[in-house]
Structure 1
Amino acid sequence: MVGRATLRQGRNRTFALVDLLEAKPHLKPLVRSIIADPTEFAPFPLLHILPNLFEIEFRVRLLSPVNITLHPSSLVCFQRFGTRIESLHLSGLSFPNYLSFARVLLAFTNLRHLTCTSVAIETAGGGAPLTVLKRRLSEQMQLKTLTVDYLAPMRGATVRPFLFSPGLAPSTVEKLRIAARIGPDAFESNLPGWSRLRSLVLRFHHGGRTLTGVVKLLEEFQSPELREVVLELEPATSIPAVLRNLKSFNTDAQPAQDVLKELEHRLLRFSHLSMTWVSPPLRRRALWACELSKHFPVLSQRGVLILKSEPAFPPGHDGAVHALVVSPDSTWIASGSEDCTIILWDTNGKITRQWVPHGYEPVRSLAFSPDGRYLVSGADDGKLIVWELSASGDARQVAVLEGHSGGVTSCACSPDGTLIASGSLDATVRLWDAATFLERRVLDGWPTPEVPSLAFSPDGRCLAGGSSSGVCCVWDIACDSVLHKSVHGERHVNDDDNYYSGPESDPAARHPFTLGNTQLATASGPGVIEVWGVYSEKEKGGRLFALEHLRRVNDVSFSPDGRLLVAAVGNGTVTVWDAHSGTELSVFEGHKDGVMKVCFSPCGKYIASASWDETVRVWRTGDGSCVATCPEFNHVVTRCITFSPDGQLLVSGARNGTVIIRKMKDLVPVDI
């Protein structure tokens, strides 16, 4: 058994441990490691009475490095009574100069293992005295393993130039471990020869510039005995985000793919090698391991490309869900995510197919064709891709629709299946022929340089677009004219309004609106819903009435028959009105926080709502009773919610990537 003593409450804690060990001498051989604050640690008589002590870790309690200078008497104690100490770990310390740092190393005469983490040197100089100490240290140095970081301190220099001096660590170290963020210009000159080095471990935050620095390090590192090289790449972000960054990263001299090929080539020079990518918990580790293998095929074939991650449950995306749609025959559920993937689910919640459709760009929008044969995806690469789905769930790319100069944030298929509409960060709305997949036209009348979200009317006669600033347009598709346009001021958000405008990763918040066959409802201003006529000459472009609320309205939806209008309100309520008269019919209370999303079931008998209180509720439209309360998995906030067209499923997608498919018969078994 190895005992570790932690001494962090002043010198009295050290003396208390001494008293305990003197009273119980059988414990002395068990203490083999000490963690202490060097500014408070009293080495004598503790070192004298611990026969098996071999490791000391000096760590300060403050976040920023603390400037220390050990008293000469302490150094003498370490030199006289610390001969059994072979391992020294320095963390979060700052030395006034290299002289002070060198004196600490000289005090441990039998040092074999040294770790320096976030250690700073205030003044780099040392002159002749430092030269003398370097010579003494080179005669005494017996280091076998060295761990050092390259993180630049807030002030001063690092210990690396000193330790890497010829005659010191390069002469004795057999295993070198470097932890750092390395850029392409990290090394200005060749590293010195490491005559005995057998193992090199590099632990970095992965990214384009980091990998360029690693390539340069491996190219310039000189060691005739080096056989083992291990790369451990820690996450700065998620694996999908890293792959996206690698795809877009280019140096002045070569593109990212060439950098990755060069890195693999450099690693293959060594007989023992491995590359380990460390990631936060992943729901689909196998998928991302496969994607990594495309960049490092030889390492993957040799079995030395490793993705290290804890599993996450339940199965789903590894980023926020942006799009969630159900096929017209209610057979498939498709979800698109910030993690750049599309997942095709069956009705039992099993993943049938998953793929990366847009080259590591977040998938913002999805739409099924009315016959369920095609799935359209839009992403940040500015493209729409049309996928043909088989009966078994396979997806085959059949067309790529190009024309937008910015990311596609919304797409929709017309009810008759003849058109595909798309809205983009380039502030345009485009129509595409669903048979030829050619662009028909860019719709006129969009009055703002913001991103529109789109929806066709149930009868397919018109298309509506809304933006985060409250602008909403309706186009007559047949004659390509603007039927209605309402412009409102910016939607100012107050913390106490419980207003939800989409996850932080959205390029633009969506404007809450809903389009029926004859009416358009928009949520605008401080809790105001406006209902507009769409087609009749008398009502065309005119506001029928306004509904005022005390809190922000986050979502609105017409019932399937167009008779009712429901709103998700920031005060935690769900409110239903008569869509023709504007009469308030009922207010559903039960949520403990603002309601974000709301929708009717296809039969109109139920309303589903999603709230910041991390629950989804199902309400009976007729009497306002809550028939089901569904806590979301692992306390996550629902991002999207929808019913299947046959009304048998309630599907929700969350900000953490979770997709939950619930059967309505399990929620309301009496009625379904």
Structure 2
Amino acid sequence: YFYTQNTKTFSSSQSVSYNYVCVFMHVPSVHQVAEKMEAVAALSLKTRRVLKGHGNKVLCMDWCKDKRRLVSSSQDGKVIVWDAFTLNKEHGITLPCTWVMACAYAPSGCAVACGGLDNKCSVVPLSLDRTENLAAKKKSVAMHTNYVSGCSFTNSDMQLLTSSGDGTCALWDVESGQLLQSFHGHTADVLSLDLAPSETGNTFVSGGCDMKANVWDMRSGQNIQSFESHESDINCVKYYPSGDAFASASDDATCRFYDLRADREVAVYQKDSIIFGASSVDFSLSGRLLFSGHNDYTINIWDVLKGTRVSILFGHENRISRVRVSPDGTALCSASWDNSLRIWA
């Protein structure tokens, strides 16, 4: 710290002195703070279901809030809605383009959104009639000038957030297809986005090829926080369950943890033996575990507080494209370029 004294003169006969003390504080990492905490015991997660049906790389997946159904999208141009308990394919939707890079379940469970190399994001209402042609009912909602890399409904079925290779994110009205807000700040492709978990939250985080993770205010369109500590593309961003922090996964083979209140990176998850990029991250329901999918076909499980790797999951035969914990926290789903999805518990 340093100490200074300033004197301000109001008149020839009166002056007032002000004393300033500026303190520069060292903010410790999460690992340092948690040094004396008990470590998480070794986990024994096993593959409980293997979902096969796609004819090419599975690029994205998302859970329904009913904790049972999930949607997946693939390079084969198909979107499949699955029953994770029975492995039944409830719906199959064929899109006019391949590389369906993004998919998301609506909060009500009555629709899914999907998009990819056609630069569009479409919403498809789901029907109880499994023989109905859902592709004919799909509605184009979002239109970018480059591929759609990610999509997410807000806290209702009526608004949709998208990220794109055109370097922007956008908020759309589902009913009218009107652009409600655009978000400019990235200088390269945006690869991922995640909405703050609070029901009244008005922020989301995005990550991209400019190695930046940006936090946005959905109402104003302003970039309110920005983080630049990765050394390569950021493939995925995911909020901590409390909404006060988020994690990122990068091609630099690390995952990083940022505290929004401290406005800084507070943890790095890496090992010398991990040399392949991290493609996706998600937290356990409590926030104590971090799951990261990697290009070496493995899923690493980290103790968020201690920074140590708790376990490694093997089973996929190609790179992991997505990891997502179920809404009730009892299972993990992974999507892979080996054309399959796996449910771990």
Q: TM-score, normalised by structure 1?
A: 0.38
Counterparts of 1:399 and 1:461 in 2: how far apart (Å)? 25
Counterparts of 1:636 and 1:468 in 2: how far apart (Å)? 22
1:463 aligns with 2:185: no
Q: Is the 8 A contact 2:56 2:76 kept in 1?
A: yes
Q: How does 1:107-122 map to 2 (within 5 A)?
A: none
Residue 87 (structure 2) aligns with: 349
Q: How does 1:391-430 map to 2 (within 5 A)?
A: 391-393=128-130, 394=132, 395=134, 397-430=137-170
What's the CA shift for 1:345? 1.9
> By percentage of residues, which structure has more helix?
1
State which of 316, 321, 326 in structure 1 corresponds to 2:63. Answer: 326
Residues 21-50 of structure 1, C-alpha deviations (whole Å, 9 max, x = no match): xxxxxxxxxxxxxxxxxxxxxxxxxxxxxx
- Provide the identity percentage: 21
1:543 aligns with 2:264: yes
SS at match of 2:137: strand
Q: Is the 8 A contact 1:566 1:576 kept in 2?
A: no
Q: Which stretch shifts more, 424-433 or 509-518?
A: 509-518
Counterparts of 2:290 and 2:75 in 1: how far apart (Å)? 31
Q: What letter matches 2:309 in structure 1? A: V
Residues 74-121 of structure 1, C-alpha deviations (whole Å, 9 max, x = no match): xxxxxxxxxxxxxxxxxxxxxxxxxxxxxxxxxxxxxxxxxxxxxxxx
Q: Is the 8 A contact 1:317 1:656 kept in 2?
A: no
Change (3 A) 1:562 1:406: same
Change (3 A) 1:576 1:322: same
Unpaired stretches in structure 1, ≥5 consecutive residues: 1-312, 492-508, 592-608, 610-614, 616-630, 665-672
What's the CA shift for 1:485? 0.7
State which of 225, 231, 235 in structure 2 corresponds to 1:511. Answer: 235
What's the CA shift for 1:321? 0.4
State which of 422, 425, 431 in structure 1 corresponds to 2:171. Answer: 431
Q: Is the 8 A contact 2:121 2:143 kept in 1?
A: no
Q: Is the 8 A contact 1:377 1:385 kept in 2?
A: yes
Residues 398-417 of structure 1, C-alpha deviations (whole Å, 9 max, x = no match): 52124311111111111344
Unpaired stretches in structure 2, ≥5 consecutive residues: 1-49
Residue 111 (structure 1) aligns with: none
Instruction: Point out the structure with max Rg over C-alpha.
Output: 1
Q: How does 1:240-639 map to 2 (within 5 A)?
A: 315-347=52-84, 348-357=86-95, 359-393=96-130, 394=132, 395=134, 397-444=137-184, 446-459=185-198, 460-488=201-229, 490-491=231-232, 511-516=235-240, 517-523=243-249, 529-534=255-260, 536=261, 539=262, 542-543=263-264, 545-547=266-268, 549-551=270-272, 552=274, 554=278, 555-562=280-287, 565=290, 574-578=301-305, 583-584=306-307, 586-589=308-311, 591=312, 609=313, 615=314, 631-632=315-316, 635=317, 637-639=319-321
Q: Is the 8 A contact 1:473 1:482 kept in 2?
A: yes
Q: Is the 8 A contact 2:281 2:322 kept in 1?
A: no
1:655 aligns with 2:337: yes
Q: What letter matches 1:407 in structure 2? A: Y
RMSD over aligned Cα, in angstroms? 3.2
What's the CA shift for 1:457? 1.3
Q: Is the 8 A contact 1:341 1:354 kept in 2?
A: yes
Q: How does 1:133-144 map to 2 (within 5 A)?
A: none
Counterparts of 1:406 and 1:314 in 2: how far apart (Å)? 30
What's the CA shift for 1:530? 4.2
Q: Is the 8 A contact 1:469 1:488 kept in 2?
A: no
What's the CA shift for 1:433? 1.7
Q: TM-score, normalised by structure 2?
A: 0.70
Counterparts of 1:526 and 1:638 in 2: how far apart (Å)? 15
Q: Is the 8 A contact 2:239 2:247 kept in 1?
A: yes
What's the CA shift for 1:466? 0.5
Counterparts of 2:178 and 2:105 in 1: how far apart (Å)? 18
What's the CA shift for 1:659? 3.3
Q: What letter matches 1:549 in structure 2? A: Q
SS at match of 1:560: coil
Residue 25 (structure 2) aligns with: none
What's the CA shift for 1:548? 6.2
Counterparts of 1:572 and 1:456 in 2: how far apart (Å)? 23
Residues 557-577 of structure 1, C-alpha deviations (whole Å, 9 max, x = no match): 333344555556889853212
Counterparts of 2:333 and 2:255 in 1: how far apart (Å)? 26
Q: Is the 8 A contact 1:574 1:587 kept in 2?
A: yes
Counterparts of 2:202 and 2:129 in 1: how far apart (Å)? 33
Residue 192 (structure 1) aligns with: none
Larger relative contact order (Cα-Cα within 8 Å, sequence gap ≥ 6): 2
Q: What letter matches 2:218 in structure 1? A: I
Q: What letter matches 1:385 in structure 2? A: S
Counterparts of 1:481 and 1:566 in 2: how far apart (Å)? 30
Change (3 A) 1:479 1:574: same
Residues 367-404 of structure 1, C-alpha deviations (whole Å, 9 max, x = no match): 11111111011121111111111234553625212431
Counterparts of 2:176 and 2:219 in 1: how far apart (Å)? 18
Counterparts of 1:403 and 1:572 in 2: how far apart (Å)? 33
Change (3 A) 1:486 1:523: same
Q: Is the 8 A contact 1:344 1:351 kept in 2?
A: yes
What's the CA shift for 1:556? 3.9
What's the CA shift for 1:421? 0.8
Change (3 A) 1:421 1:402: closer
Counterparts of 2:244 and 2:80 in 1: how far apart (Å)? 35
Counterparts of 1:333 and 1:565 in 2: how far apart (Å)? 21
Q: What letter matches 2:239 in structure 1? A: L
Q: How does 1:38-53 map to 2 (within 5 A)?
A: none
Q: What letter matches 2:169 in structure 1? A: V
SS at match of 2:67: coil
